[in-house]
Chains A and B, each alone.
Chain A
Amino acid sequence: MKTGAEERSRIYGLLAHVYYHEPDARFLKSFMEPAFLATLEGIGIDLGEYFRERSTEALVEELAVEYTRLFLGPGKHIYPYESAYRSEEDPRGRDAGGEVRNLIQASGLDYAPDYRDAPDHISIQLEFMEKLTEAEGRAWEHEDTDTATGYLEIERRFLRDHLAQWVSEFSERVAANARTSLYREMAVLTREFVLADADAVEESIEEVRTPGGS
């Protein structure tokens, strides 16, 4: 059975990269390759002429300022972590960070020793999905359906309980406040992809469970 785990992993990886820190020159150059921009256009993501015309150096500076303004401050900015979006009615409480951390640590992964940002940061959650789907993909390659399904279950739980819960609100905020097309369009892609993936994971699990399914 193919769930496209490997490809999903790369998309999660790219998105994790976008939110982890300001883009450096190398990442930007690679990102702005015509082939990639064309692929994006193919799914309805258009970064616009302005983006194409600017030099990498100018873009790096501009995007650094944008990234700071959007996600770091000082002053009003968007909080890129789940606990800021937890509704107060949520009976689980407000400690999304602790929950995500527990999940990640229980899975055998941990935070890099120099990582100091919030444990439920968007980039962490996307990277966690990247790792899960990557492992899932390897399991499918080895035809280890049980392990692969196991990962699918974790992905489902994580998307349902965490990432997919707040990705909409977060992405919409970013899109509404971004001054550059990169962050605006990536925010749209983030929402669309994560929500679509949540559905896809459900379907995949259904498929695996259905007797006689391939």
Chain B
Amino acid sequence: MAVTRKRGWIRMAKKEEKVRAPDVEVEDRGLTRRDVLKMGGAAALAVAAASVPKDAALAQAKQAAGRRLAMVIDTERCTGCHACAVACKAEYDVPLGVWRSWVVAEDRGQFPDARRVFLPRLCNQCDNPPCVPVCPTGATIQREDGAVTINEADCIGCGRCVAACPYDARYLNPDSEMAQKCDFCVHRIDQGVTPACVNTCPANARIFGDVNDSNSDVSALAGGASVRVLKPELGTDPQVFYIATEELPEGDLPR
């Protein structure tokens, strides 16, 4: 499957990542820009880019109204390595026993034609989310760009949203008893940085961006032929799109 990767806002975000990387004591080392450029290479570009002011990055990131965040997961690329699952655990210090993102592996076929499919899972950030209306305090909301988030200050830990989600995407934190789930790493994307899982995936199997932007990779891929979503019959309108040539596994939690 040859896909020409088009430039979209997330490519911009990746560049911002590079911008953030040299956010270290270059000055303290007494290095001048010239010294660094003498060292040569792509690294110099990154340092030069560091002079792009943060505001500009933010402006670029929030470019359009009508932006709809979505993720495409290419299961043909996914190797089931769990880097995304562990990156997510680290990013949010998720306690043991609960998950915001996890990977399911399922064996199929009969020897010698055995095969294995991988299914990375996370909150589907549904366009018609069943979890939002059941929240008694309004702690869980759907942002304008579609990300479904939880304001823990208002959460009373009643658990109705956990029960309402048909995808096991939510949990009550065993220690704080707050409802929690994947929120598309809004604290990163609002700063123009890719979600943790997207950043780490060695197979580049997670593609993230604005599905309403016709120039984005996400919009190109989400409309492709072998695209599936989980439990479409429920009418939740998931915004996580799976590229898969065969049926998706159940996607159960790791326990």
Residues of A bordering B, CB below 8 Å: 88-89
**How far is the CB of A51 from the nearest CB of chain B, in Å?**
41
Decide yes or no whether B175 CB sits under 8 A from chain A: yes
Contact with A along B159-181 (1 / 0, CB 8 A): 00000000000000011110000
Contact partners of B176 in chain A: CB under 8 A: 88-89
Chosen A-B contacts, 6 in total, with CB atoms closer than 8 Å, are A88-B174, A88-B175, A88-B176, A89-B175, A89-B176, A89-B177
Nearest A residue to B152 via CB reads: A91
In the bound assembly, the distance between CA atoms of A88 and B174 in angstroms comes to 8
When chains A and B are docked, how far (Å) is the Cα of A14 from the Cα of B75? 63
Give A94's nearest chain B residue, CB to CB.
B175
**Cβ-Cβ contact count across A and B, 8 Å cutoff:** 6
Task: Report which B residues bind A (CB closer than 8 A).
Answer: 174-177
The 5 closest A-B pairs by CB, nearest first: A88-B175, A88-B176, A89-B176, A89-B177, A89-B175
Cα(A88)–Cα(B177), bound, Å: 9
- Residues of chain A lying within 8 A (CB to CB) of residue B174: 88
CB-CB < 8 A to A89: which residues of B? Answer: 175-177
Contacts of B175 in A (CB 8 A): 88-89
Within the complex, the shortest CB–CB distance from B97 to chain A, in Å, comes to 13
Give the docked Cα–Cα distance between A107 and B174 (Å): 36
- Closest residue of A by beta carbon distance from B174: A88
CB of B66, distance to nearest CB on chain A (Å)? 38
Q: Which B residues touch A88, using CB under 8 A?
A: 174-176
Q: Which single residue of chain B is at the shortest CB-CB distance from A88?
A: B175
With the chains together, A24 CA to B110 CA distance in Å? 69
Distance in angstroms from B73 CB to nearest chain A CB is 32
Q: Chain A's nearest CB lies how many Å from the CB of B214?
A: 44
Q: Which residue of A lies closest to B93 (CB)?
A: A94
C-alpha gap A197/B86 in the complex (Å): 46
Q: What residues on A are CB-neighbors of B177 within 8 Å?
A: 89
In the assembled complex, the CB of A91 is this many whole angstroms from the nearest CB of chain B, namely 8
Q: How far is the CB of B117 from chain A (nearest CB, A)?
A: 37
Task: Tell me the smallest distance from the CB of A119 to a CB of chain B, in Å.
Answer: 19
A89 to B177, CA, bound (A): 8
A94 to B: closest C-beta gap in Å: 8
Complex Cα spacing A145 to B234, Å: 71
Q: How far is the CA of A89 from the CA of B174 in the complex (A)?
A: 9
User: Shortest beta-carbon distance, A83 to chain B, in Å?
Assistant: 13
